[in-house]
Amino acid sequence: MMNRRKIIIDTDPGIDDAFAIIAALSCSQFEVLGITVVGGNNQLNSCVNNALGLVSLMDSRCPVHAGAPVSLNELRLGKTAVEHSTETHGKGGLGGVSLPGDPAGLSTVHAADFIAETVRSNPGEVEIVTLGPLTNIALAMERQPGLLQDVKCIWSMGGGVEKGNRTVVAEFNYWADPEAAARVFAQGQSTSLNMIGLDVTTKTSFSMNDLFFLKLEGGRLGKFFHDITEQYTRVYWERFRLCGCVIHDLVAMMIAIDPSLCGEGDVFPRVNVRIETEGMCRGQTLVDLHNHRDLRDLPRNASVYMGIDRNRYKLRFFETVFKDVSQLYEKHVLGT
């Protein structure tokens, strides 16, 4: 039997998180050890319920662990929740779609404790895919000093070299808790840390043809994906005049599944990444792609992804989740 890769998914579901989680649970090479949940796209309770619903939808026994409801700074101030807009991800976080889950799948172990203990018990074997703010990872680092030395790899959807989406310069996940992101990247030399940000994700939009094909040929999962993206696609049209949508978190998950989706020129290996934590640029990622002479003494703490083969990415997703119709998709939608 093939040795499967041990994976923890740290997430704040979230429409794009839902795509990513389902891809991971469909991937034969992954053993998803647990889903750890952080407040981000929605209130923590809603994110936990969505994670439980996705696990039930996939008939999985993967445990769900609730984690930080707010950022590190807000935790220190005693806050337990923050207001969230439903404009992008809709009511409940899944485009207004209600997804029932089994409460028995919710562990009593805090997400940060689960991460720390799982990594400690499997040194050098666990990969973490982060799809939300990095608060749970930072808390796990507090619980287990030297944690990242024992993590095999981190695939992190977040940041952006040339653009932001929450502010002019900051991507949402790192903006939501820049102190946590800064802590993780400060220790990035200890592991294989990969930043998969807006520069690559925004090159991968799903078209209305892709989504319509999911509805017609994707069975219950395809209809679910189509339904949760109805409001999402309206938002993309109103904001960007794009007929379709970008499934950001899925990009990080598919790169984790198959790094060959990105060519040599798409990846800048081991560069310096810093996270701004103050002022109007709070949450911005400062990325030295070209080994600037004044920054050469700074640690090369992360690999940064800047491009991807969009068609191969989408086809690989269909092959992973919808194997029976992937050839139909390739022939009639991709047109290859």
Q: Please check whether residue 167 is in contact with residue 178, taking contact to mean a CB–CB distance below 8 angstroms.
A: no
Q: Classify residue 130 as exposed, middle or buried by CB count within 10 Å of its CB (0-12, 13-18, 19+).
A: buried
**Cis peptide bond N-terminal to 67, omega within 30:** no
Q: Is the pLDDT of residue 31 over 80?
A: yes
Domain tally, the chain: 1
Which one has a higher pLDDT value, 335 or 6? Answer: 6
Could you read off the pLDDT of 296-321 as tens digits, one per residue? Answer: 889 999 999 999 999 999 999 999 99
What per-residue confidence (pLDDT) applies to 115?
98
Distances (CA, A) of 275 to 61, 161, 226, 266, 281: 36, 11, 35, 22, 9
Q: Is the pLDDT of residue 83 over 80?
A: no
Q: Indicate which residues carry an active-site annotation.
A: 248
What per-residue confidence (pLDDT) applies to 88?
84
What per-residue confidence (pLDDT) applies to 89?
87
Q: Is the pLDDT of residue 28 over 80?
A: yes
CA distance 125 to 80: 33
Q: Which residue has the tokens 């992360």?
A: 302
Q: Is the pLDDT of residue 290 over 60?
A: yes
What per-residue confidence (pLDDT) applies to 47?
97
What per-residue confidence (pLDDT) applies to 44?
96
Largest CA distance in the chain: 55
Q: Is the pLDDT of residue 86 over 90?
A: no
Length, in residues, of the chain: 336
Q: Is the pLDDT of residue 117 over 90?
A: yes
CATH code (residue 302)? 3.90.245.10
Q: Is the pLDDT of residue 1 over 60?
A: no
pLDDT band, very low/low/confident/very high, at 85 (cuts 50, 70, 90):
confident
Q: Which domain holds residue 62?
A: 5-334
Q: Please check whether residue 128 is in contact with residue 112, taking contact to mean a CB–CB distance below 8 angstroms.
A: no
What per-residue confidence (pLDDT) applies to 336?
62
Per-residue pLDDT, averaged over 288-298, amounts to 89
Per-residue pLDDT, averaged over 111-116, amounts to 98
Per-residue pLDDT, averaged over 8-19, amounts to 98
What per-residue confidence (pLDDT) applies to 237?
96
Give 143-205 as a 3 state SS string.
HCCCHHHHEEEEEEECCCCCCCCCCCCECHHHHHCHHHHHHHHHCHHHCCEEEECHHHHCCCC
Residue 333: CB partners within 8 Å, gap ≥ 6? 209, 210, 213
CA distance 177 to 123: 27
Angle between helices 44-57 and 15-26 (to 10 degrees): 40
Residue 314: CB partners within 8 Å, gap ≥ 6? 204, 206, 210, 334
Residue 309 has φ and ψ, to the nearest 5°, of -80, 100
Which tokens in the block code for residue 279? 């002022």
What per-residue confidence (pLDDT) applies to 293?
82
Could you read off the pLDDT of 228-246 as tens digits, one per residue? Answer: 999 999 999 999 999 999 9
Q: Classify residue 281 as exposed, middle or buried by CB count within 10 Å of its CB (0-12, 13-18, 19+).
A: middle
What is the Cα 106 distance to its own chain's centre?
20
pTM: predicted TM-score of the whole model, two decimal places? 0.97
For residue 272, the cross-strand partners are 288
Q: Is the pLDDT of residue 128 over 70?
A: yes
Could you read off the pLDDT of 167-218 as tens digits, one per residue? Answer: 999 999 999 999 999 999 999 999 999 999 999 999 999 999 999 999 999 9
